[in-house]
Chain A
Amino acid sequence: DQQVKQNSPSLSVQEGRISILNCDYTNSMFDYFLWYKKYPAEGPTFLISISSIKDKNEDGRFTVFLNKSAKHLSLHIVPSQPGDSAVYFCAASGGEYGNKLVFGAGTILRVKS
Chain B
Amino acid sequence: EPEVTQTPSHQVTQMGQEVILRCVPISNHLYFYWYRQILGQKVEFLVSFYNNEISEKSEIFDDQFSVERPDGSNFTLKIRSTKLEDSAMYFCASRSLRSDGCFGPGTRLTVT
Contact = CB atoms under 8 A, between A and B. Distances in A.
A100 B45 contact: yes
A44 B43 contact: yes
B44 interface: yes
Centre residue among A44, A45, A46, A105 by max chain B CB count within 10 A: A44
Contact of A46 (B6, B55, B101, B104): B101
Contacts, number: 52
A45 B56 contact: no
Interface string A32-76: 001010000111111001000000000000000000000000000
B45 A45 contact: no
Main secondary structure of the interface of B (DSSP, over half): strand
A46 B100 contact: yes
A87 B72 CA distance: 33
Nearest to B44: A103
Contacts of B106: 41-43
Interface string B81-95: 000000000010101
Given A43-B4, A43-B106, A101 B101 contact: yes
Main secondary structure of the interface of A (DSSP, over half): loop
Interface of A: 34, 36, 41-46, 49, 89, 91, 98-106
A49 B105 contact: no
Given A44-B91, A100-B33, A36 B103 contact: yes
B42 A103 contact: yes
Contact of B45 (A43, A101, A105): A101
Contacts of B44: 103
B65 interface: no
Interface string B7-41: 00000000000000000000000010101000001
Nearest to A43: B103
